[in-house]
Amino acid sequence: DQQVKQNSPSLSVQEGRISILNCDYTNSMFDYFLWYKKYPAEGPTFLISISSIKDKNEDGRFTVFLNKSAKHLSLHIVPSQPGDSAVYFCAAGRLGDSNYQLIWGAGTKLIIKP
């Protein structure tokens, strides 16, 4: 049972345009969501997070939107740059859970075309 789904295995975007990566979840108890970026041969790096009390969080070129009713979150990258080419993972968890663990999506490979 995939509780966190990233339905697009890959996405190709022109440099300078907006990249939108999507993530759906099924567990309504999740209240904390994160995006990580991963380059080949490296571990994932934290990008941005959002808690369920907010519907938007912005950090520079990266904005995460959360739609709780649709159980959907998205990561917007504006403008897209060549260095953004990587695999992006979304992850979800429950802050109040003593057995807390993050549930991860399968990742979306973002390719920024020059």
Partner 1 sequence: DSGVTQTPKHLITATGQRVTLRCSPRSGDLSVYWYQQSLDQGLQFLIQYYNGEERAKGNILERFSAQQFPDLHSELNLSSLELGDSALYFCASSVAGVKGTQYFGPGTRLTVL
Contact segment (CB under 8 A) with partner 1 among 12-20, 58-66, 68-76, 96-104 equals 96-104
Q: Which of 88, 89, 110, 112 binds partner 1 (CB under 8 A)?
A: 89
As a whole number of angstroms, the distance between CA 92 and CA 4 comes to 7
Q: Residue 60 in 3-state DSSP?
A: coil
Map residues 37-76 to x or -, x wherever contact with partner 1 holds by CB under 8 A. ----xxxxxx--x---------------------------
Shortest Å distance, C-beta 51 to partner 1: 10
Shortest Å distance, C-beta 14 to partner 1: 25
Q: Which of residues 9-38 bind partner 1 (CB under 8 A)?
A: 9, 32, 34, 36
Is the preceding omega at residue 9 within 30 degrees of 0, hence cis? Answer: no
Identify residue 79 by its one-letter amino acid code.
P
- Please report the sign of the dihedral spanned by the C-alpha atoms of residue 70, residue 65, residue 20, residue 41: negative
Beta-bridge partners for 57: 64
The DSSP symbol for 85 reads: -
List residues near partner 1 by CB under 8 A: 4, 6, 9, 32, 34, 36, 41-46, 49, 89, 91, 93-95, 97, 99-107
